[in-house]
Structure 1
Amino acid sequence: MLKSPFKIALLLGATIFSHAVANAGELTLFSRDGFDGREMTLRATTPNLVESGFNDRASSMIVRSGRWEVCEHVGFEGRCVVFEQGEYPTLERFNDRISSVREIMPERGHGGGRHHGGRRGMISLFAERGLEGDAKRLRRDADDFAEIDFNDSARSAQVMEGTWQLCSDAGYRGTCRIFAPGRYEDLGRGLRGHVSSARMVDAEGGGGAGGGQRDGDVELFSSSGFSGERLVLREDTRDLTDFGFNDRADALIVHQGEWEFCKHADFGGRCVTFGPGRYERLGPMGNLISSVRRVR
């Protein structure tokens, strides 16, 4: 027996709806640290948390799916940071300061701008250390920050998508460094307060989007279990203070080679060598690493 057009349309609509729900992002805010207290789950853009009675009340959160931008003022104004899927038992500088929330949806291809073979990119630059102060968000290359009124202003950054090169001079000249996705609370000597150009680049050893390339030889994480803030290293680092990561690493991944991790700057104090592998917890070296160098 043939189904009626109405039934077919109804079944098709239900399928599309269930697929959309399955792929929608979901974020839960909690009024206390450690996922305690009152909670509110969001699945859609919320430009004003005052209306839900949750303005400036969130102290922890869980991003169950999607990528979410949280902002300190209504209408997505003020300082904003993007959070990936994961658990955040404390919000630190955003504690009791979130007023608007929205999911960052993948961009669809369109004309205009440089997209580097279809890859997307997004970086936020901040005028103060610790992702504070005036901010400038980029989605494409900028070869002269004087044109965007942010020359020699950036002191910290958050890379949400892509791998970016920041340079001290216009035209991608001078001191340049590569920044993979992560939070950089201090751009370090040579770039702190001296960034004049930025562009998307291929990650070292990679040749385009996808492909499972790694970002660097070593990854440091500020929380056990490979969570929290991340710092990617490809070369010897005499003082992690320059990257705002001194005494902060509590987990690490070594992708290649053998690396020595030391308690003091300039490879002083107690040092421990880690070969290729994933180290979910650093035990006695947790939150004590100040310098890193490759030994083999």
Structure 2
Amino acid sequence: MNSSIRNILAVASLAIATQASATVTFYEREGFAGQSFSTENEVRNFERFGFNDRASSVIVTSERWEVCDDRRFRGRCVVLRPGHYPSLASMGLNNRITSVQPVRRNARVDENQYAPLPPAPPRDNATAPVMFFEHEGFAGRSFGTDERVGNMVRHGFNDRASSVVVLHGRWEVCEDAGFNGRCVILRPGRYPSLAAMGLNDRVSSVREVQSDARIDDERYAPPPVPVYDSRRRDNERLYEARVTAVRAVMGTPEQRCWIEQEQVAPASSSANIPGAIAGAVIGGVLGHQVGGGRGKDLATAGGAVAGGFLGANIGRGESPAQTRDVQRCADTPAASRPEYWDVSYEFRGQEHRIQMTNRPGATVTVNERGEPRS
């Protein structure tokens, strides 16, 4: 075999190997949730794999892939570059993909055929053992890291963190760059508010604490809420488990107070009965607008009594009685939104329970052991 033939075969082998390593994964729901389907080869009809018109998001691991809304790469087609596409709706292909094929590396593709550029892959948050969030309750933008960060300015997250999740390890967070200023140690868990430790919007540097390092108890932050690592593992197959029960768990009640005017009863009077009834209704409506939760019912009753007493004097010829301000209080829920949801689901004949920050749908995503995955 001459050298030219060997070179041709080598190039062909490299092309085949590169093509075989190219992968694309489709997900049933937006945000890479639900059941998934991966392939390294062209698929002319998704019906054969039970995934026709079901894809809502996609991850392209390598190379370029052409997705089409009809069989055998017909209909409307777009080319996807490597990246994370959390929603196919933006390109008009949500629940419409029927076929897919890899694009040859040397193939020229018109720019109009490409899908919009995907956002930067959530590499940090997908694998990071510590994640910071812009708002309390793990909301807003996030930043994750698996290495020491001496100055968060470089990552655009300086003095922005309001809550944090530590999946594993111990991490020292400091209010100044270079691990200076006030620092606290975070253990694995969920910290829904950094305000409790005086670091809301003040974290500037973070680093992992060595596993054998001894830490004084006073350096630790208050105990966190337990955390469960629900991230999907590599090549882990996912399933949908049926939700059997959902219970909203509210936060700790807090006390709310309001001021009511209480009328001082005259020494002797003749009550006006129709006026008393009208006053009770009006007072009840006013009282119902003051309180909240259980306090609303108490306020309604209090308003009804006060209003009835006021109404009893309507129509009298005598001068109005004197009034005085009275403070009333009642316990009400801390927030109208549940603190978390206690969820039960069934998978392969066994019941499981988890706590979730949002109310689930009819199913939850789990792995083959029934462990929840996000």
- TM-score (norm. length: structure 1): 0.34
Structure in which a larger fraction of residues adopt strand? 1
Larger radius of gyration: 2
